[in-house]
Structure 1
Amino acid sequence: MASFLFIAIMFGNLSAYARLLDNNEKQRYAANTAIFGGIDPYSIELKNFILPLDELPRITSEAVTNFLIFRVSPATQAEIRAYKSLDAFTQFASKWIEDIKALKINNSFCVIGKVMHLQKINSPSLNIWLSLSSNGDILNSHCDCVAGLGEACTHVAAVLFALEYVSKQEESVTDVLLDRAKIQEKFP
């Protein structure tokens, strides 16, 4: 009974996107937002994401690999083993990430991003969110693509690679995204 009440309360805070998920997916999604006190990242206005990306905890390649490959799926109780998501580095390197923003909620960090489709270039960009602990552990993620319900799609991975890159570089992700915008202005 208590878990039903918890889920009912959580559903009240979900975005329009999340409310369209089937019940099992909705429960998992609501559980993932618990790290943010039940606040759905898709329901937060973009203007609130004001944390400079260089103030995020350092993301290491080990953290990215652990999250994409070795993390245990709550649905299957087996390792995720999303080896294909490791190919997402090319999405980052090819500058398919349109935007990354961050916000601190409670003791965690919420990162949102927009990533272009690989196969559907004219389709709207996909929206991802992920949560980070204060020590740089990747806690969970979501993408509104078909594979995003598995929490380890290539779009999430591309943003993770971008954050890892920022952790290693002096140049910020914002600078990288601005370079991409300049190129698009020259070659629309």
Structure 2
Amino acid sequence: MATTSMEETVPESPYCRDLEPVSRIRYKQLVSKYVGSDPYLMKMSEFSGEYKDLPTIEAVDITNYLVLQTSYYTKQQMKAYKSMDAYNFFVSGWVHKLGTKRLHDGYCLVFAFELYCYII
């Protein structure tokens, strides 16, 4: 009997389906390892909206993530100034709600729900 890995059984969100094949595989591996289901398919009721539930983050953590972290694919330093887009979305009012979900082994999923604006 063939065994099926969890990555193959996790339902895919439209976000996941739009990823390049290599990125999709990596995304599904991370989701199945840490979360168990695709965060883009979760309901807001599964997240806590309390700020006290946010993980403690120091300025050095932000610097490490945005500037010093190495790329998974190229193994080169990312200097991810593009990641500042998330900050800019937040301060510009595009983030509607922020949700946190405690995961196993001390991990925490932080998810921002954007405010969509459609012009018809």
Instruction: Name 1:112's counterpart in structure 2.
Output: 111
Instruction: Name 2:12's counterpart in structure 1.
Output: 15
**CA distance in 2 between partners of 1:60 and 1:88 (Å):** 17
**CA distance in 2 between partners of 1:20 and 1:12 (Å):** 17
* Alpha carbons of structure 1 residues 122 and 52: separation in structure 2 relative to 1, 3 Å: same
**CA distance in 2 between partners of 1:87 and 1:93 (Å):** 10
Q: How does 1:127-138 map to 2 (within 5 A)?
A: none
* Alpha carbons of structure 1 residues 90 and 112: separation in structure 2 relative to 1, 3 Å: closer
* More off after superposition, 46-55 vs 101-110: 46-55
In the superposition, the TM-score normalised over structure 1's length comes to 0.51
Unpaired segments ≥5 residues, structure 2: none
May I ask how many residue pairs the two structures share in their alignment?
Answer: 114
1:69 and 1:82 in contact (8 A); partners too: yes
In the superposition, the TM-score normalised over structure 2's length comes to 0.74
Amino acid corresponding to residue 91 of structure 2 in structure 1: A
The structural deviation recorded for 1:69 is 1.5
SS at match of 2:97: strand
Amino acid corresponding to residue 7 of structure 2 in structure 1: M
* Alpha carbons of structure 1 residues 16 and 50: separation in structure 2 relative to 1, 3 Å: same
Q: How does 1:93-112 map to 2 (within 5 A)?
A: 93-106=91-104, 107-112=106-111
Instruction: Name 2:27's counterpart in structure 1.
Output: 29
Amino acid corresponding to residue 113 of structure 1 in structure 2: A
The structural deviation recorded for 1:25 is 1.7
CA RMSD of aligned residues (A): 2.7
Amino acid corresponding to residue 64 of structure 1 in structure 2: I
Flag as ranges the 4+ runs of structure 1 deviating above 4 A: none
Identity %: 24
Unpaired segments ≥5 residues, structure 1: 124-188
